Structure 1
Amino acid sequence: MKTETIDALATAGGRTSGGGAVVGFLGWLASSQAIGLFGVCIALLGALVSWYYKREANRRLAAEHALRQQERQIRIDIMRNTGRLVPGNTDLGELGADE
């Protein structure tokens, strides 16, 4: 056989193998196992994303709480030293204040 013919047959064989692999993969995608596997992967991905953002929200809330506690402690220290009420973030009004 000629070299060109052997090269042509080798190329055709490679393309046939690639096409078979693609058809096999598409057939696997169409099976119920593949759909179930993709469902599990998507569920795991969703759980990981949810976990990450809940962790970040908890970190943010903890930092905010620490800042509020520091502010509260500063107000308490000022009130102890001066004997006067220091306005803060509260819904309670000053006792005896006229409305």
Structure 2
Amino acid sequence: MAYLDAFVRRIGSMMHIEVQTGRGRMDLIVTHNQRKYIVETKIWRGTHYHQAGKRQLARYLRVEDETEEFYVVFDHRQAPEPRIETEIIDGVTIYCYVIPVVQAAPSNV
């Protein structure tokens, strides 16, 4: 988050982490040019969990009176597949980014 925070500050914006809402907490809110960008982050745990995260974000957005936002999923599987998806759920546009996170196995030394 430190790298993202540095970037957000450099462009004159603000980042808020784990913001309380009427329906729980939002992972990340970035305000830029008087606009609010809501970002939900998850770790890949399968298709069902992935779709549930999108529905969760759509509920947050309706409460916050927003119509489009971002869903970032970190995929730690053995052979992760990057994806970019755009989906409309209950009138809300979700921009989804599945980001492969490939980590080398620790050595036995």
Fold shared, TM-score > 0.5 on shorter chain: no
Instruction: Report the structure, 1 or 2, having the larger strand content.
Output: 2
Instruction: Report the structure, 1 or 2, having the larger helix content.
Output: 1
Q: TM-score when scaled to structure 1?
A: 0.22
Considering Cα pairs closer than 8 Å and 6+ residues apart, tell me whether 1 or 2 has the greater RCO. 2
Q: TM-score when scaled to structure 2?
A: 0.20
Structure label with greater radius of gyration:
1
